[in-house]
Amino acid sequence: MEQEELHIGGRECLLFCNGDVSAGLRPVCLLVQTLGRHERPSVAREVELIAAGTQLPFAMVFFEVFDWATDLMPWPDPKVDRQPEVGHHAGETLQYVTETLLPALSERFGELPVILGGYSLGGLFALWASGCTDRFAAVAAASPSVWIRDWLPFAQGHPVLTDAVYLSLGDQEELARNAAIARVGDCIRAQHALLQAQGVACTLRWESGGHFSDNEGRLARAFLWCLGE
């Protein structure tokens, strides 16, 4: 597995390739995921799990997220974060992905189908992005924060513009003591039903444990399902 650290458009990016490009084994798909500070220790393991589960050559890039909530929240919700900048910069993050990151990688690998994925707010961002642009072939949303204020009205009014969506949730997440977060079970079921009604290829997998259980395993299974689709 080849690994590189790059700087693209002012953000640190970690790039992994499981094919030997110099030998003509070019990736057939590009996987894109957030790189929060808390995610750094687990990314290499996640890529290993994906590579172990597929015969397809792929490239995977993790792009730096400066502030988790500020960069990824599509609108303000005080139950998530009360900082004044939160909820006003997700559009800039998406613009970075579509107008800076992907063109830079296209110069290297050519045009590839792109799977956008993430965990928690990263998964929410991926779902939100798929309602804003048709740039992504599939979305891998592991334990997405679909409990935030006004998410379902947005999803109803903005059908996803992607071919396939993977959703997952830990079976203990809806048992959270926080009443807002405990809505996540009903919200993920409603999101899944909405995707089915829209005719999107989708699945909802229930994982064991709470929100902080086996994050890299959940993400790997999400990307592998999307690769299969």
> What is the pLDDT tens value at each position of the chain, 229 positions in all?
889 999 999 999 999 998 665 556 789 999 999 999 889 999 999 999 999 999 999 999 999 999 999 999 999 988 887 787 777 899 999 999 999 999 999 999 999 999 999 999 999 999 999 999 999 999 999 999 999 999 999 999 999 999 999 999 999 999 999 888 999 999 999 999 999 999 999 999 999 999 989 999 999 999 999 999 9
User: Can you give the pLDDT at residue 2?
Assistant: 86
pLDDT in tens, 97-141: 999 999 999 999 999 999 999 999 999 999 999 999 999 999 999
Which CATH number does the domain 2-228 belong to among 3.40.50.1820, 3.40.50.2000, 3.60.15.10, 2.40.40.20?
Answer: 3.40.50.1820
What's the number of CA atoms in the CB half-sphere (13 Å) around residue 65? 27
User: Can you give the pLDDT at residue 85?
Assistant: 75
The residues spanned by each domain of the chain are 2-228
Global pTM reads 0.95
Amino acid symbol at 203: T
Q: Write the DSSP symbol of residue 181.
A: G
What's the number of CA atoms in the CB half-sphere (13 Å) around residue 168? 33
Direct distance between the N- and C-terminal alpha carbons of the chain, in angstroms, rounded to an integer: 23
Q: Please report, to the nearest 10 degrees, the dihedral formed by the alpha carbons of residues 54, 136, 126, 74 taken in order.
A: 170
CB–CB of 145/227 below 8 Å? Answer: no
CB–CB of 32/117 below 8 Å? Answer: yes
